[in-house]
Amino acid sequence: MACQTCDEAVCLTSGVYVIKYGYMKSELFPYGAQYYRTPNPPSTDWERDLREMKAQGMNSVRLWAMWSWIHLPNGEFDFSHLDRLMDLCSQVGLKTLIQVVLENAPPWLVHAHPHAKYTSMDDEQIWPMGRPNTPGGGWPGLCLDNPPASDAAAQFMTALASHFARHPALLGYDVWNEVWFELDGYIGPQYYCYCPATVAAFKEYLAGKYSGLDGLGDAWHRRYTSWDEVYPPRYWGGYPDWLDWIAFRIENQGKLLRWRVDTLRGADPDALLVSHGLPTTLGSMATHLTDDWRNAKEVDIYGLSCFPHWFNYQDIDTLEVHDLVRSASSGKTFWTAETQAGPSGEGLIHSRTPSPQDIRLWNWISLAAGAKGLLYWQWRPELLGPESPGFGLCHLDGTPTERTEAASWFPSFVGAHPEIGEHKPLKGQVAIAILPESQLFAHVAEKNAGKYSQAVRGAYRAFTRAGYQVDFARIEQLMGYEMVYLPFPLMIEEKSARMIAEYVQSGGKLISEACPAQFGNGGHVQVPTPGYGLDEVFGVRAESGPQSIQDDIPTFQWNGRNVGCCVHRQTLTAVTATVLAEFSDGGPAITENLYGSGRAMLVGTYPGICSEWGWQDAAPMLGDLAAYFGLSPLAHAGDPEVVVRLQVRDESVLAYVVNLSGDTREAHLRISNSIGDFSVAEDIDGGGGAPVDGNSFTATVQGRDARVFKLIPRYTRKDVVI
């Protein structure tokens, strides 16, 4: 619910991070850990553990409310375990986030409505069971497209929110844990859900999209005479039907999120409602059915789960996923809803145990990216199921570790420096345009979207290491960005193409990878290519489809760098465009065209993927292309392993200097004159000041650590705050 005075769910006032909602004002930067998930930890340890959390400086705790455990037959509910935990939290002084978990159905409900079980493409019904994240059983629950299941789930959520409304320990509700379709890949390479209720909802979706059966037949190129003849695709092979089926499943997932929010809000209108994603929007939309932009719109605060060692992240990847959720939140407050606390994984092999330095760096990355809260997963190691005995910030018996001590430093740091909560990140100079249709097309074409995600990740790493702050933006958000990068844009729908053209025409600078709008609505090849008028934007034509790269790899030169093709080489004919670089075997490799008030550049392969596949010159070339367009970083350390992030409030500027390397680095920082004119950079944690000469200063930063400098400029660009 919005603040009564400023109409925002989250307010930054009086030098502290303030969450305001209706009947209660809680002043805190949420910092804590997941604690309870039925059946662990044992109840005999609860009070001791919660007091230890408080002693370590934590102020927030997450408790899971498991539908299968709480909801009894005949409309009865057993909240006794949560009642005791909530009362203990109130006594100790911890705020509680209740995690609403519907991915576990009560046994009596499964027995009463067997038709509501999830159904695979092979018509296999999934019987609820135990799973690593649901050791008490009931997973994955029932398909909520079935009214008996959704009605019972609504009764549970209503009872839960009504029961704990106005409890003094209540912080709010996390309405959906990680907002993804958890069956993906768990029981073989299956797609879901093909139960009658979901199939009926799909037909209703198609009828609305295509205005009836004839319109559907035209789009899918089939001669239907009845809706009884229509069914979702089950096996790989076509484009239009698969694209529609996946788009429907994603939209349906969004409706379920909105339904959860509306149900909880109806029971407790004043409750703070949050959620968080994995996040996998950049590569797994087709299977996880997740969309961070959609999710963030529905809740007061959105966040992410981040397990760097478990997910095999490089440190720059940890920054990337935070930037993704920051961007998707579109100016709303976001937080790190789950971060790795201990060895993580499933079964007998878990990730390596984070070091205290890992914990410290991950906290710094979260703060530098602009997150306004952090919860660890989890306080105690798991004690049952394939996730055991992993994940804990503590020893098995709940006593502190060196990681606990590293974590406990940050709440005192944030408490001593309220300006951390007041400042907000700058808007990035470079936006990587996110095209859901291109990602879904990549999945439909190859059964995975790996190449799309590699293109995005490679571009992000390249621009970040060149010193630019990178945002991710949907096509409708491009206006206002100085430069936009379009990765792996093979499929562009007509409405997206119009917005891209408008961005360039209005003065934007666009760099596109190969084959923009090679495919259009429904996966149809566009003639001419690029389609939907983008041939005029780029000033080129492709007379044939892209050439797949085999043994002979064409290369091209840019600014003394040698870059090779990967996946495809697009054969282009310049019409109005200027050829800036040619392939080693002839033909345009990079073109530039003036269109309206803007400029559009097309690269005849995928530099983002090239960078990921080992072409060392591909990443720095992208930085060179940004410089060619006249961009220079707002803040730069001159070291690809040192990231600088600026956050502002009024005339005050904070500079986070984060050293991703394991070695001490002496960073030579340069702040753009467009931000302000500075004389001194003061370490806010008492590490001394550094003289600023010509908006440059030098700072020594220990390996896998950070420093925060406060800059007081004589003028500030206020238009760059998001």
For the chain, the domains span 30-183+247-422, 430-628, 635-720
Closest CA to 578 of 596, 601, 558: 601
Q: What is the pLDDT of residue 27?
A: 56
Rounded to an integer, what distance in angstroms lies between the CA atom of residue 21 and that of residue 346? Answer: 38
Mode of pairing for the β-strands spanning 568-569 and 24-27: unpaired
The per-residue pLDDT for range 378-398, each reduced to its tens digit, is: 999 999 999 999 999 999 999
What is the Cα–Cα distance from 475 to 431, expressed in whole angstroms? 10
pLDDT digits (tens, 9 = 90+) for 608-621: 999 999 888 999 99
Structure tokens at 4: 């009564």
Q: What is the pLDDT of residue 189?
A: 87
pLDDT per position as a tens digit, 223-240: 999 999 999 999 998 999
Q: Does residue 159 carry a pLDDT above 60?
A: yes
Three-state DSSP class for residue 434: strand
The encoded tokens of residue 621 equal: 């070339």
pLDDT at 643 over 80: yes
pLDDT at 712: 79
Taking only the tens place, the pLDDT of each residue in 136-155 is 999 999 999 999 999 999 99
Q: Which CATH superfamily is domain 30-183+247-422 in?
A: Glycosidases (3.20.20.80)
427-442 per-position pLDDT tens digit: 999 999 999 999 999 9
pLDDT reading at 188 higher than 90: no
pLDDT per residue as tens digits for the range 442-453: 999 999 999 999
CB burial string 408-418: b at 16+ within 10 A, e below: bebbeebbebb
For residue 651, what pLDDT is reported? 82
Beta-bridge mates of residue 510 = 484, 600
**Predicted local confidence at residue 714, as pLDDT:** 62
Backbone torsion region of residue 467, taken as left when φ is above 0, otherwise alpha when ψ lies between -120 and 50, otherwise beta: left
**pLDDT tens-digit readout, 352-361:** 999 999 999 9
Task: Supply the DSSP symbol for 15.
Answer: T
Residue 715 pLDDT grade (very low, low, confident, very high; cuts 50, 70, 90): low
- The reported pTM is 0.95
When pLDDT is cut at 50, 70 and 90, the band that residue 17 belongs to is very low
Q: Which CATH class is domain 635-720?
A: mainly beta
pLDDT at 14 over 60: no
Lowest mean pLDDT: which of 317-321, 465-469, 690-694? 690-694
Q: Tell me, what's the pLDDT at 687?
A: 77
The model's confidence at residue 551, banded by pLDDT at 50, 70 and 90, is confident
pLDDT digits (tens, 9 = 90+) for 41-99: 999 999 999 999 999 999 999 999 999 999 999 999 999 999 999 999 999 999 999 99
What share of the chain has pLDDT > 70, as a percent? 95
Supply the CATH classification number for the domain 430-628. Answer: 3.40.50.880
